A and B are shown apart, each in its own frame.
Chain A
């Protein structure tokens, strides 16, 4: 699971859960995988994200080094920042661990890099 994916995940589908966002990350195995840098692409993706959630997620797994807590107005001109964002969003992979719903405490296992967001019928609203 990459952090770009984590930024979009919620546990709102659980019965009784109102926002279910963001999910806490517990990582026991993290791998770094190289992905080609594309500044135009990263510039387009950043405004779609919840940046604060991204920063906290990266920080919680020990990878927020050099990542600013907030985005500057002219971030697209800052190549160094874009490269850092690219790295955090696309190159860090949580291979093993779990995600936790902030409201219910329900855990979603991540194994072989695949988060399992499926719920049983009794759990859904």
Chain B
């Protein structure tokens, strides 16, 4: 499958986006670095054709690097949701700067399944879910499970490589299919005070999880 733009061009555009102004620790707010977002989105389009002309959900969108990258890769319409208004306002700024008109933003709790009638609705769900390292263990798995409810096809999600066998187990339990489609390195900046080291180099997996019948 072809790509609308080159990987380098995509990464260049994504590098220029505004990030979180004041990252909130309780929501695990750190952006996906531009090189990771670019490789992820490029892979999703060129290997699986899951962006061009598709109806896409960005769950926990933050400042919107995945939403905006999806549009650059040809997505027809993107819904971007987050639980934090400040993050969505940065996304609005980003989309206004770029004159993008096919991203719609919504302030809601993604884990509350009653807010939206999204069962099997989206072609593609993108997410870099909260890792769930502090007080909310398992939130990454709840994001993934909710993502699966919302799509008739696939969820693409970033997870620490250390959780790989756990995810494999969960996927079996849920009766869905999935595999790691790219292995990447995430340079988590020292955004939060409790990170003692300057930055942490973390291995992450890009997962594709999908319904067995799709």
Contacts and interface: CB of A to CB of B under 8 A. Distances in A.
Chains A and B belong together in one complex: yes
Interface stretch (A5-13, A60-68, A73-81): A5-13
B106 A114 contact: yes
Q: Give me the 3 closest cross-chain CB pairs, A-B, nearest first.
A: A117-B108, A13-B114, A33-B101
A12 B114 contact: yes
Given A45-B55, A113-B92, A1 B104 contact: yes
A8 B114 CA distance: 10
Given A8-B117, A13-B115, A118-B108, A90 B88 contact: no
Contact of B117 (A10, A13, A33, A41): A10
B107 A4 contact: no
A41 B79 CA distance: 15
Contacts of A112: 89, 92
Interface string B106-121: 1111001011111001
A38 B83 contact: no
Interface residues of B, number: 26
A10 B114 contact: yes
A66 B118 CA distance: 28
A interface residue count range (under 10 / 10 to 19 / 20 to 34 / 35 or more): 20 to 34
B76 A41 contact: yes
A12 B112 CA distance: 10
Given A10-B116, A34-B101, A40-B53, A117 B106 contact: yes
Interface in A52-102: 90-91
Interface in B59-103: 76-77, 79, 83, 85, 88-89, 92, 101-102
A10 B112 CA distance: 11
A5 B106 contact: yes
A28 to B, nearest CB: 18
Nearest to A50: B117
Nearest to A111: B85
B77 A4 contact: yes
B55 to A, nearest CB: 6
Nearest to B105: A114
Nearest to A12: B114
A115 B83 CA distance: 11
Nearest to B122: A48
A35 interface: yes
Nearest to A41: B76
6 contacts: A9-B116, A10-B115, A116-B85, A117-B108, A118-B83, A118-B108
Contact of A116 (B76, B101, B107): B107
Nearest to B81: A117
B114 A5 contact: no
B106 A1 contact: yes
A38 B115 contact: no
